[in-house]
Structure 1
Amino acid sequence: MSNTLILPSSKGNLLTYKPIKHSLPETLKAPSKSRIAYAAAHVVADPLVDLDLSSETVLDWEKTLAYRRYLWSLGFNVAEAMDTAQRGMGLNWEATKELIQRSVAEAKAYNGGIACGAGTDQLVLSPSTTLDAIIQAYTEQCEFIEEQGGHIILMASQALAAVAKSPEDYASVYGKVLSQVSKPVILHWLGDMFDPKLQGYWGTANIQEAMALCLDVIKENQSKIKGIKISLLDAELEIQMRKQLPEGVNMYTGDDFNYPDLIKGDGDNYSHALLGIFDAIAPLASSALKYLDEGNVQKFEEILAPTVPLSRHIFKAPTRFYKTGVVFLAYLNGHQDHFRMVGGLESMRSVVHLSELFVLADKAGLLQDPDKAIGRMKQVLSLAGVN
């Protein structure tokens, strides 16, 4: 097999590229001591089932669970059934329940950390949907997760964003839901760049006002909240907010553009991590955290620096289609045998985008078997008419 590729570029021409053989640095063997680190995990679709991709979901359970074991082996906790797993973008609540049930059982067997997303996506939104119905939907999912033995990540709700008329509505819903959980949860503030239906979350389009309202909810329910993950791609806002969190409430960065600096922090002011990009860059992120544990900040920064251009590319607008890049990299690295996704989302990024992703992943040192990655990239290029 030739070890070079002919790749299409954004300038409309073809370029010759020869991947570099890298050696992965040493990784964590147990969870990081200096930071709590969650990797939001993707799911692997079963490509050999005849189904309606617009409404049905069938997962390859062996590959899906194997990837979670891989993440645990690198010292990560798994954030299950989050937007990285295509919640609201192909993964319905029925499939999500089975995913949570299987993954929590796997976590117990592997002794791996896990927290699971609870939302309201089983609701069929209509003009008659009420706040009580949203509370009931949240409560159903929270109870299911706790019944399985999982911890809860309380996700932002499209239904609440559509139905709420004021910040007070948000405070009321969160207060009632949180009053019923048995263990403290992680909140999730997901920006509208990840989900346009969440625009104006917390009852206002003014981001500073929204942050103040969110902080009020946290302070009013402090005993039921152990942290908040914010995914707003705004480092200064995250720093501003984490300084105002009550004692005992952690900030978990969901900023896939600025994660190295936010995790590094400044003295005692830093973010923990709950990131979709950690799915894609898992071995390097694990290694960087190992060095951070050892106090070697320079090596931490050195390892993560080349992953940032890759992450910014994977999460470029429309950001909600970042899952395509995450799954594509898992395919290139042999974690799954195909590049098919729940809901057909493999088609949501261009072959030019995927070609640039290949180059950036290689430059970051993430192609663990370059020959296999080249062969798989050539198949994708051939299907796109690039020979």
Structure 2
Amino acid sequence: MTAAARPRSRTVLAAAHVVPDPAADTGPHGPAVLDWDATLAFRHHLWSHGLGVAEAMDTAQRGMGLDWPAAAELIRRSAAEARTVGGLLACGAGTDQLPLHGASLADVRAAYEQQLELVEQCGGRPVLMASRQLAAAATGPDDYLELYGHLLRQATGPVILHWLGPMFDPALEGYWGSTDLDAATATLVRLVADHPHKVDGVKVSLLDAGREIGLRRRLPAPVRCYTGDDFHYPELIAGDDQGFSHALLGVFDPLAPLAAAAVRLLDDGDRDGFRAALDPTVALARHLFQAPTRYYKTGVVLLAWLAGHQAHFSMVGGLQSARSLPHLRRAHQLADELGLFPDRELAAARMAGLLAEYGAEDG
């Protein structure tokens, strides 16, 4: 595959899942062993539609089974593949090589530096991921401003800042130094204002369209707002008379063909056509990301398997069991109604086989 031309009007990144090696002899606590051929083939699928790949993010099970050594290798390999096709690549840099509890602010800074250096060496656009360890160690907004300020000054080029809400990861409650979202937003805006040339954009995953729009309007030009809102993405990407959001979305993993075609309508100035194309996908997105939201990855991987992008329905750490069979059945139905499956008969046969395996075919 070759990378298709990227959309002109928006920067669009799909956070891609990983495919484990089902024959690997590993337990639920790792280490993760990936099927590299299938994992990288899916990145080429995304690039072939003109989408960028957001690599080693939470969709790839960072913090939920994919450890730092595996994530580092994933970044290296994806970067090498991106170079062969000219694909757009952003990569998560975090602190997940540290234990969840007991890390100091100095430990957190060093961990970020290690991962940031790797991403930059590989040529990816760094995404400074929200850090569980920083949330545990910080005593207030000044700790965030000091630590992130240091990282931004050190970065060789612009980075994407990442605000992931606690619905995606409960350990991130109170990020940016406050559980008051207005205060947290003010801290983030101050950080960006202090370093406008080192911030490519801010990725916001709070599932609150009004709050994202408010933040978007406070960002200095040319800093982008990347929506991570898997509930309200059509309206946020379409935008209004005062601006719009770009996209860095986990839901664009299964929606890649539809999402790419829809955004190209925006390239032609057809906002109504864009909404008509993408609005019908929201029911599936809301289903996949229903509470507990952090387990949305299970539905994403199911749909990749049903669509024929991989040969099995398994996940790092056994998280294919994180959603119920009725939930998975409904995901198949909604995706089928959207025409997401290149081979509907294959998808139906695989779904029927899954249900039959657990005695739920008539449920």
Asked if TM exceeds 0.5, the reply is yes
Partner of 1:309: 283
Aligned letter for 2:334? L
In 1, the alpha carbon distance for the partners of 2:26 and 2:180 equals 42
From 153, 172, 176, give the equivalent of 1:179. Answer: 153
Match of 1:78 in 2: 53
| Aligned match for 1:285, one of 244, 259, 281 | 259
Which residue of structure 2 aligns with residue 258 of structure 1? 232
State yes or no: 1:320 paired with 2:294: yes
Matched-pair contact (CA < 8 Å) for 2:306–2:341: yes
Q: Which residue of 1 aligns with 2:36?
A: 61
Which structure: larger Rg? 1
| Maintained 8 Å contact 2:100/2:132 | no
Match of 1:238 among 212, 217, 238: 212
Moved more, 306-315 or 294-303: 294-303
Hey, what does 2:181 align to over in structure 1? 207
Between 289-298 and 248-257, the greater mean CA deviation after superposition: 289-298
Q: Which residue of 2 aligns with 1:170?
A: 144
- CA separation in 2, counterparts of 1:74 and 1:274? 15
What's the CA shift for 1:268?
4.8
More displaced stretch, 336-345 vs 28-37? 28-37
1:53·1:342 contact (CA, 8 Å) conserved in 2?
yes
1-side partners of 2:275 and 2:198: how far apart?
34
Q: What is aligned with 2:74?
A: 99
After superposition, the C-alpha distances for 1:137-177 in whole angstroms (9 at most, x for unaligned) are 00000001111122100100000000101110111110111
SS of equivalent to 1:248: coil
Asked whether the 8 Å contact 1:191–1:199 carries over to 2, the reply is yes
Higher relative contact order (CA 8 A, sep 6+): 1
Listed one character per residue, the Cα deviations across residues 270-306 of structure 1 (whole Å, up to 9, x for unaligned) are 0001100000111100110111111222221111121
2:192 matched to 1:218?
A: yes
2:342 corresponds in structure 1 to 368
Query: After superposition, what is the alpha-carbon deviation per residue over 1:334-385, rounded to whole angstroms, capped at 9, x for unaligned?
Result: 0000000011110000000001111111112212211000110011101120
Instruction: Indicate yes or no: 2:19 matched with 1:31.
Output: no
Aligned equivalents of 2:242, 2:34: Cα separation in 1:
41
In 1: Cα distance, 2:278 partner to 2:162 partner: 24
* C-alpha deviation, 1:29, in angstroms: 3.6
Is the CA contact (8 Å cut-off) linking 1:44 and 1:64 kept in structure 2? yes
2:107 matched to which residue of 1? Answer: 133
> Structure 1 residues 182, 91: CA separation in 2 closer, same or farther (over 3 Å shift)?
same
Once the 2 structures are TM-superposed, how far is the Cα of residue 126 of structure 1 from its aligned partner?
3.8
- Show the 5 A alignment for 1:292-303: 292-303=266-277
Matched, 1:111 2:81: no
Corresponding residue for residue 357 of structure 1: 331
Q: Counterpart of 1:22?
A: none
Aligned-pair distance for 1:70? 0.6
TM-score (norm 2): 0.97
Aligned residues: 359
Question: Offset of 1:222 from its aligned partner?
Answer: 1.5
Partner of 1:195: 169
What code does the residue aligned with 1:154 have?
L
Where does residue 346 of structure 1 map in the other structure? Answer: 320
Identify the residue that residue 23 of structure 1 maps to in structure 2.
Answer: none
Aligned mate of 2:15, from 37, 40, 45:
40
Matched to 2:176, the amino acid is W
- Matched letter for residue 222 of structure 2: G
SS of equivalent residue, structure 1 residue 305: helix
Conserved? CA contact 1:306–1:363, under 8 Å:
no
Q: Is the 8 A contact 1:253 1:273 kept in 2?
A: yes
Q: Distance in 1 between matches of 2:93 and 2:45?
A: 24
* Percent pairwise identity: 53
1:229 and 2:206 aligned: no
CA distance in 1 between counterparts of 2:100 and 2:66 reads 17
Amino acid at match of 1:39: A
Unaligned runs of 5+ in 2: none
SS in 1 for 2:252: helix
Counterpart secondary structure, 2:197: helix
Residue 55 of structure 1 deviates from its aligned partner by 2.3
Q: Which residue of 2 aligns with 1:15?
A: none
Residue identity opposite 2:354 in structure 1: V
Contact 1:252/1:274 (<8 A) preserved:
yes
Matched, 1:151 2:154: no
